[in-house]
Structure 1
Amino acid sequence: MLQYKYNKEKAIQLAAIICKHRGGRTDYGSIVKLLYLTDRESISKRGFPVTGDELFSLQHGPVVSHALDAFRHPFSHSHTWLEFFEIEKGNKYVTLKKDPGFDDLSPADIKILKNVLSEYGNWKFSNLRKFTHNAKRFPEYTEIESGRERIDPAEILRQANVSEEDIMKIEAECSAL
């Protein structure tokens, strides 16, 4: 299975841009969906994601795993996210409390995120959930009732018509990191 190197700083910076786009406060479900769509778009176009986060199928659709865990379990997972986001107790909303900037993001990373935000950035979580549950649009997603199942990014590459030979090269490059 293809595994990229996770870049927490890029994930935080993208999440902050998403949160700002949505008025500075939003549900974390929408953030992880939009991060998923950004990484998926990047994999399709460039062969690698922006964040390198692990991709999983969950009951509510495909998501990026580390970011979801950081929002769901902020005190046990990563204090770094808490430096930038206030995670409201008892609900699923987060507020951007400090801008992390975007020094780790390349212009190409930002362009991909802007494309995703222009298309889906104002959608409610329920709409994002319904959209990403579409097997024709997201055949890499596996419908599950509970738990989680890993999504192999190689499936996204195959959907983008990347050859098996090129996928093997990408896997070898990732393994060397």
Structure 2
Amino acid sequence: MIFSEQKVAQIAAFFLARAEGSLPNLKLIKLMYLADRESMNRFDVPMSEDRAVSMPHGPVLSATLDLIKGKRGSAEWSSWISPPSDNEVKLARELQNFDDLDELSRSDFSVLDSVWHQFGHMNKYQLRDYTHKHIPEWHDPHGTSVDIDPKSTFIALGVGEDLAESKAQDLRERRALARKISEFI
């Protein structure tokens, strides 16, 4: 899979719709990271195909964070998500039906529902603190950002070292192949 701004916009739209239209940036990025992590737990691949990084406030999805903060322009993102205001994002349009989120599979919806059920009641600071205490692949980067190796995520999810390396290698190969394919599209 290739990182898709349309898909991450629809993941964000799902959470925003569940939150009645708006969320703090920090809470949204944490929910999206946790959804990627749960997707890796269930299906061995992150839902967003974004690059996970450790930042001072916990783990985040790098390109998605740029979209949330308005640092990366995208027509696909803007079709679903309004520009940030006061560290908060809102749906750009009313979501009439979750079927409108056509980039998301039934499996994706299952993961998103699970993450919302488990974490949607937390505020942004509770989520940040949760990721600091309960997400072992995150390490304090001391003011910068550091890539999170998928192997460390798989190990944190309870996969043995050899299998975690194999799954991480599969992800690296998928991403390399996706980059090559995107050169021809």
CA distance in 1, matches of 2:121, 2:156: 26
**Partners of 1:62 and 1:169 in 2: how far apart?**
22
Q: Return the structure number with greater helix share.
A: 2
Shift of 1:122: 2.1
The count of residues paired between Structure 1 and Structure 2 equals: 170
Can you list the C-alpha shifts for 1:137-170, whole angstroms capped at 9, x where unaligned?
A: 3111011231211111121123331513444344
Deviations 1:85-132 (A, max 9, x none): 22344x101111224921111100110010000000121000000000
Give the conservation status (yes or no) of the 8 Å contact 2:132–2:138: yes
- Aligned counterpart, 1:157: 154
- Counterparts of 2:26 and 2:16 in 1: how far apart (Å)? 11
Deviation, structure 1 residue 64 = 0.9
**Which stretch shows the higher mean deviation, 31-40 or 149-158?**
149-158
One-letter identity of the residue aligned with 1:118: H
**Match of 2:143?**
146
Percent identity reads 26
2:121 counterpart residue number:
122
CA contact (8 A) 1:25 1:95 kept: yes
RMSD: 1.9
* Contact 1:22–1:122, Cα closer than 8 Å, also in 2: no
1:22 alignment partner in structure 2:
19
Partner amino acid for 2:92? K
- 1:175 to partner: Cα distance: 2.7
Unaligned runs of 5+ in 1: none
1:1-177 alignment, distance < 5 Å: 5-74=2-71, 76-89=72-85, 91-98=86-93, 99=95, 101-134=100-133, 137-160=134-157, 161=159, 163=163, 164-177=165-178
Using the size of structure 1 for normalisation, the TM-score is 0.86
| 8 A contact 2:67–2:77 mirrored in 1 | yes
**Against the structure 1 CA distance between its residues 170 and 95, is the aligned structure 2 distance closer, same or farther, given a 3 Å change threshold?**
closer
Gaps of 5+ in 2: 179-185
User: Shift of the alpha carbon at 1:41?
Assistant: 0.8
